Amino acid sequence: MATNVIGVLLEDSALSLEELARACAVEPDWVVQHVQTGVLLQNGPPPGQLTAWRFTSLDLVRARRLHEIESVFDANAELAGLVVDLSEEVARLRRRLQVLGAD
């Protein structure tokens, strides 16, 4: 039986590879594949240093979105990454418009 990790991560906290995989209900190999393709942990340590990988709450949100898009739309990692990138950019632009008062 799979156990999902649900909770609030603080910005100073970080998840290991195994913790992120468990929180997303995926295998650690799924996380490794997505780091290697560049759609996850884009500013982390080199891919060969698996034990040094640390994932933030933003990485957790992104990983869950990637997994959802792949599952729902049968998309590959690169396409799911593009969709997540675009949705994050739209959200940033909307926040910027709200700050500027152009609802």
CB 69 within 8 A of CB 80: yes
CB 83 within 8 A of CB 39: no
19-57 pLDDT tens trace = 999 999 999 999 999 998 899 987 666 656 666 789 999
The answer to whether residue 3 sits within a structural domain is no
Determine the Cα–Cα distance for residues 64 and 40; give it in Å rounded to an integer. Answer: 11
- Largest separation between any pair of C-alpha atoms in the chain: 48
Question: Which pair of tokens denotes residue 68?
Answer: 């959802």
Lowest mean pLDDT among 5-9, 19-23, 80-84: 5-9
The answer to whether residue 10 sits within a structural domain is no
- Residue 27: CB atoms within 10 Å: 12
Determine the Cα–Cα distance for residues 9 and 82; give it in Å rounded to an integer. Answer: 25
* Residues of the domain holding 42: 17-100
The answer to whether residue 9 sits within a structural domain is no
The answer to whether residue 39 sits within a structural domain is yes
The total number of structural domains that make up the chain: 1
Q: What percent of the chain has pLDDT over 70?
A: 79
